[in-house]
Amino acid sequence: NAGKGTTAEKYIKNHKMNSLAATAKSADNNEKVLILTPLARFYPEYWENLLKLTYPRKLVELGFIVPRSSQGDEVLKSLNKAVNKVQSSSKKDERFAKITILRQDTESLDSQSEKDRHALSVQKKRRAQMSLARNSLLFTTIDADTSWVLWLDSDIVESPPTLIQDLARHDKDLIVANCFQRYTTDDGKPDIRPYDFNSWQESDTARELMSKMGDDEIILEGYAEMATYRVLMAHIYNAKDDIHTELPLDGVGGTALLVKADVHRDGAMFPPFPFYHLMETEGFAKMAKRLGYQAFGLPNYLVYHYNE
Amino acid sequence: NAGKGTTAEKYIKNHKMNSLAATAKSADNNEKVLILTPLARFYPEYWENLLKLTYPRKLVELGFIVPRSSQGDEVLKSLNKAVNKVQSSSKKDERFAKITILRQDTESLDSQSEKDRHALSVQKKRRAQMSLARNSLLFTTIDADTSWVLWLDSDIVESPPTLIQDLARHDKDLIVANCFQRYTTDDGKPDIRPYDFNSWQESDTARELMSKMGDDEIILEGYAEMATYRVLMAHIYNAKDDIHTELPLDGVGGTALLVKADVHRDGAMFPPFPFYHLMETEGFAKMAKRLGYQAFGLPNYLVYHYNE
Ligand SMILES: Nc1nc2c(ncn2[C@@H]2O[C@H](COP(=O)(O)OP(=O)(O)O)[C@@H](O)[C@H]2O)c(=O)[nH]1
Ligand SMILES: Nc1nc2c(ncn2[C@@H]2O[C@H](COP(=O)(O)OP(=O)(O)O)[C@@H](O)[C@H]2O)c(=O)[nH]1
Ligand SMILES: [Mn+2]
Ligand SMILES: [Mn+2]
């Protein structure tokens, strides 16, 4: 570093020294993690789960983006309370290194019920809005010394406390957990089922479909009316197999997704427009690939989505 | 703001309150400007010109990214010295609000002579590298309270001291000055000529060319072997016309380009891969357009590029 020894040294940040330091031994190496959550609803279960994460808090920064709506006002109240409590702890190692809360200025789609927001017809607009929210959050909070970005949706209410270390030890550019949902079967038994279908390997069928699409058309996963025959990570969960089994992916979901910060710093973002017919987190995986990065998933490593 | 009045208030940044405040009256409104320069060579003339800018320095942050090479080491020495001098001024209003210097970890192309770096064959690789450098610099330095980003190349050695105010008063999402070069004619007279050909309006010929290209092919401006018949801003300079005449653009150069920070925060970056057959600053204009933003140029407002 040619800047060493000069008094202007304090201005110099060694760019990408973190690419060396986003490693399998993240916590041991004091690697900084930025946890980012777009937050349309505040679930206490999400917050409790977040607080259970064992990654050293002095290395963890949190970032939230809250919609500008009356629902958002409610979220902000709950979030403020929660943040305030943890950050006013007398024990320094219980406090997070930094917390940033942003508010959107763009309006959000009105209805947010699970059924409505999954309707195929509204997906393009929704994906665009979500992408803008994610990009703003990301590019406002990422720093020169951020090693990892963990995307964690606000309705992930259960994960292993070692989530960050478990994902980081794979030392991948992008790595995503398998997002399931707890539910009660018709005969009243507790069970689990796949929730997030955005983590997949590309298929010839989908490639064929896309080759015939106009630039502005998008392909979506998890809709019967558009069968893609992609390999969906959600469908190859095996309770008996090693939780650390890796699966190379072409599309990723953002419910619990760990990304090396350099991937984002190179410019990989959540396309708010069709990018090779993909948007948001799936488009992000595609963009990362165009930049020479590879996404992976852990089919047997589960996190759980809230069940409305 | 639902956060007002709670003690957690300090964590809350009002996202996009700056979209309201990236206005025609930038300096009067205390709008923060981030000046970003990828810096492969340090020209004292560039620095002197930068110091002549009259926008209040307490509102100006500077960011540089320097290649990791022996040439970069030299640049860093000169930059350190210059930065150190201005920042140690006893007068507070002579100091910039913040200065960040990053170093790349990726290698740069070896040859940097004007002729070599303009060879068509090396442009794709060069554009990709430049894009990565610009993205890293941008996403490491942009903050929640940045209103404007001024991209200013390190070889811009002459501009009006009111450059920022002059561009900002147009209140455009993206606005670019016309980049010329001073030279001496064959008969020894000083004259000026167009330098940067990346600011243009799209033509049917170029659209036709691109429609036949593979996804990974790019179209470049300013090369005889690839005539596009685009309207080039460089060619419609008129010394007698109003310097504030506006021209809508489809591609922009990055030599002196003012961008509303929200455009970048929404995700518009410099594509290091062919994006609709465009890369770097031209691809950025395209991406901004996909996000609903419009680029403009000022054909009669000149800045001058160094003449090697
Ligand atoms: N800031 C913001 N966050 C949102 C908005 N809509 C959803 N979210 C959050 O984004 C994440 C994903 O959205 P969600 O509705 O759960 O999507 P789904 O479960 O995939 O259908 C969750 O963390 C939501 O709280 C929005 O309009 N603005
Ligand atoms: N960080 C970095 N900056 C570079 C590199 N190559 C050029 N630059 C800078 O990027 C800007 C544009 O590059 P330049 O060579 O002037 O391009 P041209 O004048 O359009 O041919 C200038 O500010 C250069 O100093 C590089 O490899 N790394
Ligand atoms: Mn969800
Ligand atoms: Mn130049």
Residues of chain B contacting residue A131, judged by C-beta atoms under 8 Å apart: 267
Q: Which residues of A touch B139 (CB under 8 A)?
A: 138-139, 142, 264-265, 267
Of B140, B270, B273, the CB nearest to A144: B140
A273 contacts B291? CB cut-off 8 A: yes
Write down the H helix ranges in A196-258: 204-211
CB contact under 8 A, A99 and B272: no
CA quadruple B189, B190, B193, B196: dihedral sign: positive
Cβ contact, residue pair A139, B135, below 8 Å: no
Q: Which two tokens stand for residue B98?
A: 């913040």
CB-CB neighbors (< 8 A) of A3 in chain B: 76, 80, 101
Of the candidates A180, A203, A204, A212, the residue with the CA atom closest to the CA atom of residue A193: A180
Tokens of A116: 């409505």
Closest Cα in chain B to A263: B136
Q: Cα separation of A267 and B137, whole Å?
A: 10
pLDDT tens, residue order, chain A (308 aa):
222 222 334 555 544 433 446 778 888 889 999 999 999 999 999 999 999 999 999 999 999 999 999 999 999 999 999 999 999 999 999 999 999 999 987 666 555 666 666 777 788 999 999 999 999 999 999 999 999 999 999 999 999 999 999 999 999 999 999 999 999 999 999 999 999 999 999 999 999 999 999 888 999 987 888 899 999 999 999 999 999 999 999 999 999 999 999 999 999 999 999 999 999 999 999 999 999 999 999 999 999 999 98
Select from B11, B101, B104 the Cβ nearest to the Cβ of A13: B101
Chain B nearest CA to A192, separation (Å):
36
- Per-position DSSP letters for A23-71, written without gaps between them: STTTTTTT-EEEEEEE-SS--HHHHHHHHH--S-GGGEEEEEEE-SSHH
Structural domains in chain A, sorted by start? 16-163+171-305 (3.90.550.10)
Q: Going by DSSP bridges, is the β-strand pair A200-201/A247-249 parallel, antiparallel, or unpaired?
A: unpaired
Q: Which two tokens stand for residue B132?
A: 């990565």
The ligand placed nearest to the CA atom of residue A114 is 1
Residues making up chain B, counted from first to last: 308
CA-nearest residue to A8 within chain B is: B84
Q: Could B139 and A144 be called an inter-chain contact, meaning their C-beta atoms sit closer than 8 Å?
A: no
Would you say how long chain A is, in residues?
308
**Tokens at A205, concatenated:** 């069928």
Tell me the Ramachandran region of residue B50: left when phi exceeds 0, alpha when psi lies from -120 to 50, beta otherwise.
alpha
Report chain A's C-alpha Rg in angstroms: 19
* Ligand 2 pocket test, candidate residues B130, B176, B257, most atoms within 8 A of CB: B130
Residues of B in contact with A80 (CB under 8 A): 2-3, 6, 8-9, 11-12
In this structure, what are the phi and psi dihedrals at residue B54, rounded to the nearest 5 degrees? -95, -5
Of A259, B74, A277, the C-alpha closest to A269 is A259
Q: How far is the CA of A290 from the centre of ligand 3 (A)?
A: 27
